[in-house]
Amino acid sequence: MKLACVRQSKVLTLLSAILLLSACVSMPASPDYKQQIEQQQALPAWSQSADAIPVVSLNSLIDSEQLNQLLETAIDNNPTLQQTWLTLQIRQARLQQTDAAHKPQVSAGASAMRSENASDNFTSNIDISWQADLWGKLKNNSQAASKDVAEQALLYQAARDSLAAEVMKAWLNLTATSHAIEIEQQRLKTLEQNESYILQRYRNGIGTLEDLDNARSASAQSRANLAANQEDYRQQQRDLKQLLGLSNSEDIVAPDKYPPVELALADLPEQTLARRPDLQAAYTAIEANQLRTKVAYKQLLPNLDLGAALKDAASSPHQALMASPLWSLLAQLTAPIYQGGELRAAAKEAELNEAYSYQSYRETLLTAINEVERYLSLEQNLMTRQQHISAALKSAQNSLKQYQTSYRTGLVDILDLLTVQQQTYNLEATLDNLIYQRLINRINLGLALGLGTAS
């Protein structure tokens, strides 16, 4: 009876010590970041063109089987994306390591000793250890590691979507540069015809040497521009192959004409922003750091480690295999008393990391809002500019016909004709570039709206 009272007294003393030590640690209240984020996402509906339609993925912006194959190749082979995927797998492996801290650790051993003047001695032992998760520290640590995995999965999704958009834009860029080459070739052909015509007039004593020099200068400048465009096309082929993760020398086939690119419909801001994987990843990082703040403060609390051991010894190996083992149990309570403020500083660092992740989320959120508003506005601007340039090109083409007739009759000089020709081809190139920029903007808008790649 007396022994039982002594044991009960020891247990009470142990519990009292735990309560006393835990009372010295106060867990600070975490800021309500969720409410602050909801307030920042409360935006008015975005205004958009009536031509916008609901789109489910980036792939569906352009209906092209060839492009879909290029996207599959890029997702499978792009080394940067594969590194992101491997980082996700590394995070998953770390999660398994973190989860192992919840489980008991079991180890076994055996030894044999032989001496000259004594009998042989064989021993075997089994040790079991387990840390009791009194305060939920191990659970919080595991939850934080799980959030890391979720964050990396979202970052992989964001990287995959960005890669798909880059491939789509690079593919359209080949068509745009091909058009620039064709326009410059037409310009050069016209200039060479002018040069030949002026040379004939000069030989006949009608034209002047100044007219011939001006024509030759314009032709040479056009040849230089054509060479630059052709080199741009070769460089763009290399860049696209790099995105695809390919190293072969075979060129990627680009469409002769621009394919239609749908204008994605922008949902309500809350719905649009909720689809973006980069925003989801940034919010998940906040949650992970909140859990790590809890872990850091719980490091100041006592730890309770439990252990059990079985040991057997005999003169033969068979008899030493736990035939009549001795057992022992151990409960160990440890608490940090003084470590020079290291744990307190670590807890403060965890709080700062939490605040830092919130500011990082705000930066990502502001970037997302700015991107959507910018691309929606740019769609309207490019449409208006395209209409004006189309009208200007039509007028310039009519004017060019009149100037060509007037030059043949001697009413205008060669400089006037060259000026009108240059203006016409410049307007044609500008119009094609505006069409290209508008298609690229629609891809950027789809990415900003959180449209992902179809599986």
Does residue 198 sit within a domain?
yes
Quote the Cα angle for 34-40-45, to 5°. Answer: 125
Mutual angle of helices 137-203 and 209-244, in 10-degree steps: 160
From first to last of the 455 residues of the chain, give the pLDDT tens digit: 454 555 556 555 655 555 555 555 566 777 777 777 777 777 777 778 778 888 989 999 999 999 999 999 999 999 999 999 999 999 999 999 988 888 888 888 777 777 666 676 767 778 888 888 889 899 999 999 999 999 999 999 999 999 999 999 999 999 999 999 999 999 999 889 888 888 887 787 777 788 888 889 989 999 999 999 999 999 999 999 999 999 887 899 999 999 999 999 988 888 888 899 999 999 999 999 999 999 999 999 998 888 888 776 665 665 555 556 777 788 888 888 888 889 999 999 999 999 999 999 999 999 999 999 999 999 999 999 999 999 999 999 999 889 888 878 878 877 788 888 889 999 999 999 999 999 999 999 999 999 989 86
Does residue 192 sit within a domain?
yes
Does residue 326 sit within a domain?
no
Does residue 11 sit within a domain?
no
- Residue 352 sits in which domain range? 29-103+136-301+342-448
Domain count for the chain, please give it.
1
Does residue 92 sit within a domain?
yes
CA dist list (Å): 187 to 259, 285, 366, 428:
25, 55, 45, 10
Residue 144 sits in a domain of what CATH number?
Answer: 1.20.1600.10
Q: What is the pTM of this model?
A: 0.86
Does residue 124 sit within a domain?
no
Mutual angle of helices 79-99 and 137-203, in 10-degree steps: 180
Does residue 210 sit within a domain?
yes
Residue 105 pairs in a beta bridge with 129
Does residue 279 sit within a domain?
yes
Sheet strands side by side (includes 105-113): 105-113, 121-132, 303-314, 326-334
